[in-house]
């Protein structure tokens, strides 16, 4: 085997059954949904709709079309590299997001999507004010460091000695090359996640109140500046929800890695209700049913009146029935859903699952009682025929 080419045939890629299972779970959850129409198909659809209903044409692109942008008021396209030799520039996106590019910074707009954009920072400093939106997806690549944005105001600076990220408000995820994600909250910075107000910190400069990156400052020589405050959209009052963000992106492994790093006990004892649901979901879909159960049970114990209780109880029932094979746990969880809101759509599903578990546990008297409820209350239940069969009804 003296020809190196032949060594390639000996390579075997690592396979992960867990990864295949994880994606199957995701697809099942969405009912094996197809991808959104391609750009061409969307365009064709838009033209067809235009011929039929003008109003629909006006409304449709706002929700489906990629964002558009202007550079200092002039429309620009993907691939734009604003000229900053003489002065800084401002990029305005149609979702309300603003990006201030410092003088002599080199930034390229690599991608525009309906949810956000991907920016590539070759040098210098940019400040972003990303409008908070559900499922917003903004990324800034600075070399091998990716900064993911979840609705916030922050800055990124790339210099020869590395990348610095500074968060004024909101939540930012920094993904360094080959290292775990770093999450930055209000007033924190990367690489040292300490408050930017630390007097001895090398990043912080004397406070002032510009609304744009100062054209007169040379970003290659001047120290990074604090971000302007006060003139931007406000973030929600609640604390940033890292687990919920990760789960909504389908990044269960990342969520579980964070859970392990932070400590399961610590997180379950301190997270708010919505985050406990997200931790439970990440663990359930990430094939760690024991942690999922612990998260859902922590929610029930710590927040007995939370609005998330029913959904968490239903998910707990699924984990206990499907993964842990703990029938008593599943029965109690599904019963809790039914008792909390017997007329809700979730209660319909819970009664159906409860029926299955009770039958599997051969608790047929209780199963018949649930079957009677299904016949009475859930005419559209997929278990209606089974319930009738159990009752001997036609």
Partner 1 sequence: MLAALSFVPRFTLESSTALATVRPLPFQGDDAELTRALARQDRRARAALYERYAGYVEQLLVRTLGRDREVADALQTTFEIAFRDAHKIEDPRRLRAWLASTTVFVARGLLRKRKSHWLRFFAPEDVPELAWELDPVAAETARAVLRVLDRMPDEERLALTLRRVEEMDLKEVADALGVSLATVKRRLQSAEARFRMLAASEPALCARVAGEEER
Cβ at position 161, least distance to partner 1 in Å: 19
DSSP SS3 for 241? coil
Cβ at position 376, least distance to partner 1 in Å: 18
For residues 118 and 262, which CB has a smaller minimum distance to partner 1 in the complex?
Answer: 118
Residues 6+ apart with CB under 8 A from 267: 259, 279
Cα(13)–Cα(10) distance, integer angstroms: 10
Q: Is 390 among the residues that bind partner 1 (CB under 8 A)? A: yes
- For CA atoms 92, 93, 96, 99, the dihedral sign is negative
Binding string, residues 222-251; x marks residues near partner 1 by CB under 8 A: ----------------------------xx
Q: Rg for the chain (alpha carbons), in Å?
A: 26
The site for partner 1, by CB under 8 A, has a size of: 59
Cα(308)–Cα(306) distance, integer angstroms: 5
Torsion angles phi and psi, residue 289, rounded to 5: -65, -30
Cβ at position 137, least distance to partner 1 in Å: 12
Cα(89)–Cα(87) distance, integer angstroms: 7
**Among 95, 254, 267, 291, which residue sits at the site for partner 1 (rule: CB under 8 A)?**
254
Q: Is 29 among the residues that bind partner 1 (CB under 8 A)? A: no
Q: Is 135 among the residues that bind partner 1 (CB under 8 A)? A: no
DSSP SS3 for 95? coil
Q: Is 8 among the residues that bind partner 1 (CB under 8 A)? A: yes
Residues 6+ apart with CB under 8 A from 237: none
**Among 71, 119, 128, 141, which residue sits at the site for partner 1 (rule: CB under 8 A)?**
141
Cβ at position 83, least distance to partner 1 in Å: 21
For residues 49 and 110, which CB has a smaller minimum distance to partner 1 in the complex?
Answer: 110
Cα(122)–Cα(141) distance, integer angstroms: 8
Q: Is 11 among the residues that bind partner 1 (CB under 8 A)? A: yes
DSSP 39: H
| Distance from the first to the final alpha carbon of the chain | 73
Cα(104)–Cα(82) distance, integer angstroms: 10
Q: Is 367 among the residues that bind partner 1 (CB under 8 A)? A: yes
Q: Is 285 among the residues that bind partner 1 (CB under 8 A)? A: no
Cα(126)–Cα(376) distance, integer angstroms: 62
For residues 240 and 352, which CB has a smaller minimum distance to partner 1 in the complex?
Answer: 352
Which residues, 154 to 193, sit near partner 1 by CB under 8 A? 177-178
DSSP SS3 for 172? strand
Cβ at position 23, least distance to partner 1 in Å: 5
Cβ at position 117, least distance to partner 1 in Å: 12
In DSSP terms, 156 is beta-bridged to 126, 165
Which residues, 337 to 366, sit near partner 1 by CB under 8 A? 355-356, 359-360, 362, 364
Under the rule (CB under 8 A), what is the footprint of partner 1? 1-5, 7-16, 19-20, 22-24, 26-28, 31-38, 110-111, 118, 120, 141, 143-144, 177-178, 250-251, 253-254, 355-356, 359-360, 362, 364, 367, 382-383, 385-386, 388-390, 392
């Amino acid at each position: 085997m003296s020809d190196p080419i032949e060594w390639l045939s000996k390579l075997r890629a690592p396979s992960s059954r867990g990864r295949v299972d994880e994606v199957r779970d995701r697809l099942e959850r969405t009912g094996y949904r197809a991808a959104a129409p391609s750009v061409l198909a969307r365009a064709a659809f838009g033209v067809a709709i235009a011929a039929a209903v003008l109003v629909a044409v006006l409304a449709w692109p706002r929700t489906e079309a990629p964002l558009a942008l202007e550079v200092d008021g002039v429309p620009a396209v993907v691939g734009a590299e604003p000229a900053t030799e003489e002065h800084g520039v401002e990029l305005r996106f149609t979702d309300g997001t603003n990006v201030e590019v410092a003088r002599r910074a080199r930034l390229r707009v690599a991608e525009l999507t309906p949810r956000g954009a991907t920016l590539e920072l070759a040098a210098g400093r940019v400040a972003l004010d990303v409008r908070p939106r559900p499922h917003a997806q903004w990324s800034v690549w600075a070399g091998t460091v990716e900064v993911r944005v979840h609705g916030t105001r922050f800055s990124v600076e790339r210099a020869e000695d590395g990348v610095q990220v500074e968060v004024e408000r909101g939540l930012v995820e920094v993904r360094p090359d080959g290292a775990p994600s770093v999450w930055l909250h209000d007033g924190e910075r990367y690489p040292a996640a300490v408050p930017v107000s630390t007097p001895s910190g090398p990043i912080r400069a004397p406070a002032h109140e510009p609304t744009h990156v100062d054209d007169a400052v040379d970003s290659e020589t001047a120290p990074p500046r604090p971000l302007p405050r006060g003139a931007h959209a406000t973030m929600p009052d609640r604390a940033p929800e890292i687990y919920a963000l990760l789960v909504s992106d389908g990044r269960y492994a990342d969520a579980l890695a964070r859970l392990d790093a932070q400590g399961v006990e610590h997180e379950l004892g301190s997270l708010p209700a919505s985050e406990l649901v997200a931790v439970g979901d990440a663990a359930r879909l990430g094939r760690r049913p024991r942690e999922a159960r612990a998260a859902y049970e922590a929610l029930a114990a710590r927040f007995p009146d939370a609005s998330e209780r029913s959904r968490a109880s239903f998910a707990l029932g699924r984990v206990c029935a499907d993964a842990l094979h703990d029938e008593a746990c599943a029965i109690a969880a599904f019963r809790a859903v039914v008792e909390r809101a017997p007329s809700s759509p979730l209660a319909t599903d819970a009664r159906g699952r409860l029926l299955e578990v009770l039958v599997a546990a051969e608790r047929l008297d209780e199963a018949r009682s649930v079957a009677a409820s299904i016949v009475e209350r859930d005419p559209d239940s997929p278990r209606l025929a089974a319930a009738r069969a159990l009752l001997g009804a036609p």
